[in-house]
Structure 1
Amino acid sequence: MPTPPSKQPKAAVTRNRILETAAALFWRRSFHSVAMDELAQAAEVNKATIYRYFPDKASIAVAVARLNGEHIEAGVFAPAFANHTEPDARLRAIYGSMLANLRSIYTQDEDTYGCPLAGLTLELGREMPELRRETAAIFAKIEQRLQQLAEDALARGAVSGWTSPALGRLLMQILHGAFVSSRLAATPGPFVDAANASLALIGSAYRHDHLPGENQ
């Protein structure tokens, strides 16, 4: 279990604040549009403090990707698998958690921002191979989770005609598409549609509802 911020050493708290701030700025804006001076001001540290923890801006991007991966696992996938045993209940929980976050952001900003990992990598992947490798490793772990879910659905007879690797890959591609479509539409509606498509694919009758105002 992570150490609560109040019990972490001051250096760890400062480093984490810089990363959390950078993650939010890179996600909502872009890596290249955020200057180091702006990051320092938003994180309430001076620029020299940032360089004490990170040698350059590129190293911040890689650390942000790793942080996002940790948040996704700890905040979405681990609870879904720990709290549920049935594959459709796990998938409902995965999409439900992500959808709640997406709707919260939409309520605040009247926009959606897509997948923070994919967005950062699409922007920087060619110039930062280390970032691409980091993101690929995170996505591989997510796909392993979805493959396990697919294997359980196949074992229970909820779906047939697939291998678990193929079904897991398809669930992963739908998840990618959910973020892209929602980002393009600037509304959570397409994400709801993707959630329901994934649930139908594994034989679940459950459907997430659209909220008023969401694109249907």
Structure 2
Amino acid sequence: MDIAALPTKGERTRAHIVATAAGLFWRRNFHGVSVDLVAEAANVNKATIYRYFADKGDLALAVVRYNGAVTIETIFAGSFDTFAQPQDRLAAIYRFAYGAHASTHEESGDVYGCPIVGLALELGQDMPEIRREAQQIFDQVENYLTIIARDAIAARGLDHHAETLGRTLTQLLHGAFASARVAAAPDHMLDAGNASLALIGYPNTSILERGNAS
């Protein structure tokens, strides 16, 4: 093991603060969370937070980057690493999103939607760097979904352009997050996922039925 590659204590502390803030911002939104609350939840001094972040906005930017990295690695790259077929990759993406929504709904009776969208909508006008960061993440999401679209077109002989279908899949995913949040209904993710499967040529399958796909 390369000892030099291990995170330092300061890096671990910073990462812990960001992860703690990410959970709080997701559930309560940016303006509903104070730096004092982040410090208390992270079990650090308020001064420690300001050692790593210029202000709460700087922390929010770090949270967006953190949420993006987790989303891409866990949901999208993870689904691609586990599955080879486009319908199985798409089902896995939606199954993960549904599971996260169902878990928070069971825990609190509410659904919080996409944490990246939430911060981008709340802060994007005053902090354009957050909007830009969110857009870069969404571009990566669209790239993954465009690959799924391209593979499905090849497999099913669909009369679509991959980029157009990939963009449609991306917009449907965004809409699913918003719809599930407004209605506090995790099942809206399943509805959108099943509609997405139909769009790529698999109308007789369902998200949950694809759990054991290989």
TM-score (norm 2): 0.92
Contact 1:159 1:202 in 2 (8 A): no
- Is residue 2:40 matched to residue 1:41? yes
Residue of structure 1 in register with 2:129 after alignment:
130
Q: Deviations over 1:159-215 (max 9, x none)?
A: 5221001000000000000000000111201111001100111112321359xxxxx
> Residue 113 of structure 1: CA displacement?
0.3
The 3-state SS of whatever aligns with 1:100 is helix
Residue of structure 1 in register with 2:110 after alignment:
111
- Is residue 2:169 matched to residue 1:197? no
- Specify which structure has the bigger relative contact order, considering alpha-carbon pairs within 8 angstroms and separated by 6 or more residues: 2
Structure 1 residues 173-192: aligned runs within 5 Å: 173-192=171-190
Unpaired runs of 5+ in structure 2? 210-214
Residue of structure 1 in register with 2:212 after alignment:
none
Residue of structure 2 in register with 1:60 after alignment:
59
- Give 4+ residue runs of structure 1 displaced > 3 Å after superposition: none
TM-score (norm 1): 0.91
| Alignment partners' CA distance in 2, 1:53 and 1:78 | 29
Contact 2:153 2:162 in 1 (8 A): yes
Residue of structure 2 in register with 1:77 after alignment:
76
Q: Identity over aligned residues, as a percent? A: 48
As a proportion of its length, which structure holds more helix?
A: 2
> Residue 8 of structure 1: CA displacement?
3.1
The 3-state SS of whatever aligns with 1:32 is helix
| Alignment partners' CA distance in 2, 1:60 and 1:159 | 47
Q: Deviations over 1:108-153 (max 9, x none)?
A: 1111001100011000000001000000000000100000110111
CA RMSD of aligned residues (A): 1.5
| Alignment partners' CA distance in 2, 1:16 and 1:50 | 11
Within the candidate set 162, 165, 173, 1:164 is matched to 162
The 3-state SS of whatever aligns with 2:30 is coil
Alignment: residue pair count = 204
Q: For the structure 1 residues 164 and 27, does the alpha-carbon distance in structure 2 shift closer, same or farther, using more than 3 Å as the test?
A: same
Contact 1:159 1:201 in 2 (8 A): no
Q: Deviations over 1:46-92 (max 9, x none)?
A: 11100111111111111100000110111111111111111001001
